[in-house]
Amino acid sequence: MSANVEQLETATALDQLCVNTIRTLSIDAVQKANSGHPGAPMGLAPVAYVLWDRFLRHSPASPRWPNRDRVVLSAGHASMLLYSMLHLTGYDLPLSEIEKFRQIGSKCPGHPEYSITPGVETTTGPLGQGIANSVGMAISERWLAAHFNRGEDKIVDYRVYSICSDGDMMEGISHEAAALAGHLKLSNLIWLYDSNHISLDGPTTLAYSDDVESRFKGYHWNVLTVEDANNLQSVEDAIRVAQGETERPTLIIVHSHIGYGSPNKQDKSAAHGEPLGAEEVKATKRFYGWPEDAQFLIPAAAGTHLREAVARGKKLEADWNARYEMWAKKNPVLAAQWDGIVTGKLPEGWDKDVPTFPADAKGLATRESGNKVMNSIAKHVPWLVRGSADLESSNKTKIDSQTTFEAGSYGGRILRFGVREMGMGGILNGIAASGLRAFGGTFLVFSDYMRGAVRLACIMELPVTYVWTHDSIAVGEDGPTHEPVEHVMSLRLIPHMRVIRPADANETAVAWKLAIESIHHPTALALTRQAVPTFDRSRYASAEGVRKGAYVFSDSQGTPDVILIGTGSELQLAVEAQEKLAAEGVKARVVSMPCWDLFEEQSAEYKESVLPSAVRARVAVEAGTPIGWERYVGLEGKVVGQKQFGASGPAKEVFKHFGFTVENVVAHAKESIAVVKSTRTK
């Protein structure tokens, strides 16, 4: 028997009405889209309801209010749960968008996407990433609080919640992120873990028998359990206890039923990732005491109650604004910094101390020059924080005269990730999404460990900077496991990524400036372990050319016979080859190409001016895979690249062994010239 709406509003307690509204909205959106994941929203609706209704300090009318609590739905496949909450609590997400769930152009895409939907704090979907982001957000809150709050004058005191699932818990990144959160005693962090014992392929017992409670206790977390997700009071009690915790992050293990209320699919993986089906939707609605034919029904009482969040949020924001005004009057210098963080504006003169490096044949490694440049910027950008995955001394990522961010002392700008590259990647995204400028370092070869998070930084257009050093086979003695070969090229493949491989100290300075100026692009700095000469810029073109991705570094007299394109540490080989070829009467132009992505953004005229199409003899020199260079050298061009894994040995010998010599570049140039000639005469 199905109820009518009036009966339902009087007969059902308001809380239950709201919970079932969340459930049925999610069910209907998935059913209409004929695609999506109804099960988790059905099981978790009571948890979301309690969190949003009784705890969350947010302002739906002002989704970016800086002191709002953050909620990260790490189990991104349960996106309809989040969209239902955002719609019902009054965000600018009309029902018409929910009705277009998973359709092109909808504000309700399949998985939550940062900057598409108001109220979505981060893009989730790849399991485990969201919870790592939440750790970055909690770190940011602690840092902002330590930096800006003054005694009783507090402008930062928000909490970070994450809703996560069995899949999140299984992913390796959750281990790294949770361990660090426990170590740092991030008591502002609360994870609500949906323990429903079902994942995509079936029961989690197929592959998962972790004792999650012991695991998190081992990370020094506060662990609480809610035996029944449908018991609103026990969910509320647990969150309240978590909020009272001052020393540890809290994990609330919530036992729930996937697909709750579906007569044939509850507690089955069939409820996980496909619509319930028209008949099952009806049967489920009957179970909830819902009108079985109503779709996208929001009973007035539920709608009104949940939308009270708007007025509450306005009040919270107004109170905060008043606090902020008083605080800003007393702390004008800090207020200017706060403004910079919130608006993304850099402080006046942030780059005024960036050094210009004098010509020096011996030179220095770009990781070294990078450190000098970074420090010259860091002293003017107080909210530039950095981390390294236990490789600070190798990556040269130390910020001078700064302290470590550590448990109980959260004002330091040096983040220590430990040997946790995956966690670092996800945490950096959470930090960047919180307005701080962040960079993280490890060896370039281990960028693979970070790649999932890097890809998300690109999707989210977050200005994270990666300091990836030891950028070629010139790592030397450590051998092939530590020598990147395919990395630079494969990172170039990620849309929106700026991969910059500077050739000398002055190119490194411009590269760092670009990274810091960036608002919408992650930047990868591929830096050398070994010294590279600092070029004499009175003889060669200005390093400002890096801004265009590629530039004519050294031209020939008259039309060149061949163009030599170099990146990073191999530019010097191209320069020396140019001289050798000149001695033999061959005119070569040298192009420095530190960043493909920026070059691609230039006008056709500019590109033609650097790489004239009439000059078809070309050689690219890069100690990485040659695959892809055809784009710039063409079919008649040649690549001095690294086809196979490297080798263990002194760097100079490894380089020579694999053909990174001036002679080899000269030989390839001649070959390319010969190929062009032969095709011309045919």
Task: State the residues that interact with ligand TPP by CB under 6 A.
Answer: 37, 39-40, 75, 77-78, 125-127, 165-167, 171, 194, 196, 198-200, 258, 272
The two structure tokens encoding residue 344: 């993304």
Distance CA 575, CA 128 (A): 46
Which C-beta is closer to ligand TPP: that of 16 or that of 74? 74
**Least Å from the CB of residue 632 to ligand TPP:** 34
Distance CA 34, CA 276 (A): 9
**Least Å from the CB of residue 41 to ligand TPP:** 9
**AA identity, residue 467:** V
Residues 6+ positions from 656 with CB-CB distance below 8 Å: none
**Count of alpha carbons within 13 angstroms of residue 567, beta-carbon side:** 29
CB 540 within 8 A of CB 507: no
**Least Å from the CB of residue 127 to ligand TPP:** 4
Kindly report the backbone phi and psi dihedral angles of residue 539, in degrees, each rounded to the nearest multiple of 5, phi listed first.
-95, -35
DSSP state letters, 444-505? GGGHHHHHHHHHHHHHHT---EEEEES-SGGG-TT-GGG--SSHHHHHHTSTT-EEE--SSH
* Among the listed residues 258, 74, 255, the one whose alpha carbon sits nearest the alpha carbon of residue 167: 74
**Count of alpha carbons within 13 angstroms of residue 638, beta-carbon side:** 19
Chain position carrying tokens 């609360």: 190
**Beta strand pairing status for 588-592 and 551-554?**
antiparallel
Distance CA 152, CA 682 (A): 83
**Count of alpha carbons within 13 angstroms of residue 641, beta-carbon side:** 22
**Least Å from the CB of residue 12 to ligand TPP:** 26
**Least Å from the CB of residue 200 to ligand TPP:** 4
Active-site residue (options: 97, 141, 421, 636)? 421
Closest residue by beta carbon to ligand TPP: 167
Which C-beta is closer to ligand TPP: that of 37 or that of 529? 37
Residues 6+ positions from 540 with CB-CB distance below 8 Å: 553, 554, 575
DSSP state letters, 213-230? HHHHHHTT-EEEEES-TT
Residues 6+ positions from 618 with CB-CB distance below 8 Å: 562, 563, 564, 565, 611, 632, 633, 634, 636, 637, 638, 672
* Among the listed residues 390, 395, 523, 501, the one whose alpha carbon sits nearest the alpha carbon of residue 457: 523
**Least Å from the CB of residue 426 to ligand TPP:** 11
Give the DSSP H/E element, type plus range, for residue 527: strand 523-527
**Beta strand pairing status for 562-566 and 618-621?**
parallel
Distance CA 281, CA 480 (A): 56
Going along 528-586, which residue ranges are E strands? 531-534, 551-554, 562-566
The two structure tokens encoding residue 506: 């002055």
**Least Å from the CB of residue 270 to ligand TPP:** 11
**Least Å from the CB of residue 669 to ligand TPP:** 46
Which C-beta is closer to ligand TPP: that of 169 or that of 499? 169
Which C-beta is closer to ligand TPP: that of 200 or that of 627? 200
Which C-beta is closer to ligand TPP: that of 195 or that of 506? 195
Which C-beta is closer to ligand TPP: that of 166 or that of 317? 166
**Least Å from the CB of residue 197 to ligand TPP:** 8
Question: Is 421 designated active site?
Answer: yes
DSSP conformation class of 253? E
Which C-beta is closer to ligand TPP: that of 424 or that of 500? 424
CA 323 to chain centre: 32
Which C-beta is closer to ligand TPP: that of 255 or that of 379? 255
Chain position carrying tokens 């003899």: 617
**Least Å from the CB of residue 256 to ligand TPP:** 8
The two structure tokens encoding residue 258: 């996937």
Which residues belong to the active site? 421
